Amino acid sequence: MVDGHAASLHDVQATSGRAIAPGRTQHPWLRWLWSGLLIAALAFLVIYPTAMLLLGALTTTNPVVEGVALSDVSIGNFLTVARNPNVLLALANSMIACGGGTLLAVAIGLAFAWVVVRTNTPCKALIASAGMLPLFVPPLVAGVAWAILGSPRTGLINLMLAKIGIPWRFDLYSMSGMIFVFGIYYAPYVYMFTAAALRNMDPSLEEAAEISGASPARTIATVTFPLILPAIISGMLLSFVVMLGIYGIPATLGTPANIPVLTTYIFALTAWSPPLYNTAAAVAVILMIVTGMLVFAQQKVLSGRSYTTVAGKAFRPRALNLGPWRFLTLGLAIVYLLVVVVLPSLALLIAAFRKFLFIRDIPSLFDMKQYGWQHFIKMFDNPLTITSIINSMEVGLITAVVGGVLAFAIGYTTTRTRAPLRRTIDMITTIPVAIPGLVIGVAYLWAWIGLPGGLYGTLWILALAFVARFIPDTVKALSTSLMQIHKELEEAAWICGRGLLGTVFSVVLPLARPGVVAAMTLLFILAIRELGSSLFLYSSGTMVMAVQLLGYYEGGNIGITAAFSLVQMVLLGLLIGATNLLSRGAARGVVRSG
């Protein structure tokens, strides 16, 4: 039965001349060819740059001048860098900033999850969705906004405090400033994990403790908390890893106070004259090792101790009646949203539209004569602004198309076929999870800078680096939507005489369309806001928005920086809105065809 079916499949392909057929033909070499192609693509995107990065960390030869030489490869070169006190300082600063930020994120995220899932606080649905907004703000924009609000001398908050006569000042150009901004912007990661855990917990687990005679405090300590602990740890590790790879926030808040962290230190090394590419590679490897260990720990926590509940039904979580206290929790939630959404937006708006950021007194804040479009006009007078926007769109498009197609091919091959080496393909695909964007940037720099006439200096190198950076998440998202398509739908098409490719195009792709559309637009969005890897790969002709924004900030013109931040936020907002519309339209399409 299976043989006959496979034979007919082969006939259809032979007669129609379709060559690529992963997994189901009688020609094993075809399946090997397909798997080989995928592995070659992944080797080109992931393994080769990573290998070059490791090589760079182990040598002292300059890749631009001398090319890559294998002559002086030695672990000693790496150890010299790893023992350098400046490197250790940057590592320590990274640990303190991200550790502190993570603790703050856990405190906020946990409180938020509890308020939203377990209390009768008013408007909690609205609070929950507004609480996710920080995830969409590029870290650099967040850093810029908070620099405007909290720089020690000219920060808006400090100016206000001075006007009111309070002698105390905020200083966000500091370690605690970085911790604060990290903490409030990455709390949603912890929130997502813990809210899901709280929501999926069988309420009778807590009721059983109550019936057993445990007080509410004892119930929380002995039942609720231990049960959501894996989710908390997992959210903690994830937010730590994300913070560790962030460049925008330390660059805006740490650098002015001379507090280097790993990411800013790596970039500083390549901006040196002459650039210290080898040292940068070695520090990038250190960052990659730390990230890799944390990601590994997170996977362990997630797989080892997830307490799935026995009954597979949906629970209605128990909502604690807070009585009048529910307005206090509402107030706290509003304060958080104010701090994380409203204040920074106001700061950007004021800075972008005000002629001078100096504010003499409160009434002058509302003096409309002080406001105008001059910063926007100046910004667009700079040809690089438009170039960077167009370049970003182009890079986004290439990333979305190349990444989407590759991710679909990998996802389909690993979840749906019996192609050889599919476990290996799956494994290589997950490697970039442990590589921060900035490290990918350094790796691509090492991979292509020494090759004349190659990718370096084109938009493609940016796009390919982004594809490599985001391929794990894209494949995971697509695999999920592929797994929701029942295998029998495909088998039915085969029985009807369709070939494998024909089935993919006529059945799988239309059904998976909402997932594919969503994955590709997400790739587009991630690509145009990516800063870390762009830093090392742009050239004057391939300037992108995120780097240009950093340029404006470092150039010291706050008005233009704020204006460009707003332009980027509006663009992102429009794109996210369009994505929602698109994926909804695509979902309707499936309902019609299904």
215 contacts another protein (rule: CB under 8 A) = yes
Shortest Cβ 310–another protein spacing (Å): 6
Those residues whose C-beta lies under 8 Å from the C-beta of residue 345, and which sit 6 or more positions away, are 145
- With beta carbons less than 8 A apart as the criterion, state whether 524 and 532 touch: no
221 binds another protein (CB under 8 A): no
Q: Residue 204 or residue 506: which is nearer to another protein going by CB?
A: 204
Q: How many CB atoms lie within 10 A of CB 212?
A: 11
Rule CB under 8 A: say whether 222 interacts with another protein: yes
Based on CB atoms, which residue is closest to another protein, 166 or 221?
Answer: 221
In the set 51, 214, 339, 393, which binds another protein (CB under 8 A)?
214
Compute the least distance from the CB of residue 202 to another protein, in Å: 5
- SS3 at position 99: helix
227 vs 285 by CB, closer to another protein: 227
Q: How far is CA 196 from CA 144, 187, 296, in A?
A: 32, 14, 21
Q: Hey, which residues does 271 pair with through a beta bridge? A: none
- Which segment (80-88, 180-188, 222-230, 466-474) binds another protein by CB under 8 A? 222-230
Q: Which stretch binds another protein (CB under 8 A): 33-41, 140-148, 214-222, 404-412?
A: 214-222
Residue 198: its H or E element:
helix 175-200
Q: Does 197 contact another protein by CB under 8 A?
A: no
∠ CA 176-442-36, nearest 5°, is 130
Beta-carbon contacts of 336 under 8 Å, excluding residues fewer than 6 positions away, are 108, 112, 131, 184
d(CA 172, CA 156): 12
Helix H, strand E, coil C: the string for 486-500 is CHHHHHHHHHCCCCH
Is residue 210 a contact point for another protein (CB under 8 A)? Answer: yes
Return the number of other C-beta atoms located less than 10 Å from residue 27's C-beta: 13
Is the CB of 304 or the CB of 324 nearer to another protein? 304
* Closer Cβ to another protein, 307 or 371, answer by number: 307
Residue type, position 245, single letter = G
Q: Does 217 bind another protein (CB under 8 A)?
A: no
Strand (E) or helix (H) holding 471: helix 459-483
Question: Smallest gap, in angstroms, from Cβ of residue 201 to another protein?
Answer: 10
Stretch that binds another protein, among 8-16, 219-227, 292-300, 490-498 (CB under 8 A): 219-227
Q: Which of 19, 75, 208, 405 binds another protein (CB under 8 A)?
A: 208
DSSP string, 164-178: HT-------SSHHHH
Q: Which range, of 93-101, 136-144, 303-311, 453-461, touches another protein by CB under 8 A?
A: 303-311
Q: Is 381 in the site for another protein (CB under 8 A)?
A: no
Sign of CA dihedral 299, 184, 569, 387: negative
Helices (H) and strands (E) in the chain, counts: 28, 0
Does residue 419 interact with another protein by CB under 8 A?
A: no
Q: Which stretch binds another protein (CB under 8 A): 5-13, 86-94, 125-133, 209-217?
A: 209-217
Contact call for residue 209 and another protein (CB under 8 A): yes
CA distances from 75 to 54, 59, 79, 82, 459 (A): 10, 8, 6, 11, 34
In this complex, which beta carbon is closest to another protein, that of residue 207 or of residue 491? 207
Q: Are 259 and 242 in contact (CB under 8 A)?
A: no
314 near another protein (CB under 8 A): no
211 or 368: whose CB is closer to another protein? 211
Q: Does 212 bind another protein (CB under 8 A)?
A: yes
Give φ, ψ of 310 to 5 degrees: -70, -50
364 binds another protein (CB under 8 A): no
Rounded Cα distance between 438 and 446, Å, is 13
Q: Which residues contact 546 (CB under 8 A, 6 or more apart)?
A: 138, 140, 248, 392, 528, 529, 530, 531, 534, 568
Q: How far is the CB of 580 from another protein (least distance, A)?
A: 28
| Residues 6 or more apart whose Cβ sits within 8 Å of residue 495 | 5
Quick one: which segment of 118-126, 223-231, 242-250, 413-421 binds another protein (CB under 8 A)? 223-231
Q: Which is nearer to another protein, 309 or 539 (CB)?
A: 309
Nearer CB in complex with another protein: 171/210: 210
207 touches another protein by CB under 8 A: yes
Task: Figure out which of the listed residues 48, 136, 307, 371 binds another protein, where binding follows CB under 8 A.
Answer: 307
Binding part of the chain for another protein, among 18-26, 197-205, 357-365, 390-398 by CB under 8 A, reads 197-205
Instruction: Spell out, one character per residue from 263 to 302, where the chain touches another protein: x when CB under 8 A holds, - when not.
Output: ----------------------------------------
Site size for another protein (CB under 8 A): 23
Q: Of the ranges 14-22, 236-244, 304-312, 328-336, which one interacts with another protein (CB under 8 A)?
A: 304-312
311 lies in the binding site for another protein (CB under 8 A): yes
User: Could you say whether residue 223 binds another protein (CB under 8 A)?
Assistant: yes
CA atoms 532, 450, 270, 549: torsion sign: negative
Please select the residue that binds another protein; options are 16, 74, 129, 309, rule is CB under 8 A: 309
DSSP 318: P
Q: What is the rounded radius of gyration, in angstroms, for the C-alpha atoms of the chain?
A: 26
Span near another protein by CB under 8 A; candidates 176-184, 308-316, 514-522, 567-575: 308-316
Among 97, 142, 143, 144, smallest CA distance to 243 is for 97
213 makes contact with another protein (CB under 8 A): yes
- Whichever of 215 and 364 has its CB closer to another protein, that residue is 215
Comparing CB distances to another protein, the nearer of 203 and 541 is 203
CA distance to 4, 421, 456, 510, 516, per residue, from 406 (Å):
31, 16, 22, 17, 11
Cβ nearer to another protein, comparing 26 with 212: 212
Per CB under 8 A, the segment of 108-116, 205-213, 374-382, 562-570 that binds another protein is: 205-213
Tell the burial category of 581 from Cβ atoms under 10 Å away from its Cβ (0-12, 13-18, 19+): exposed
Q: Which residues bind another protein (CB under 8 A)?
A: 202, 204-205, 207-215, 218, 222-223, 226-227, 305, 307, 309-311, 313
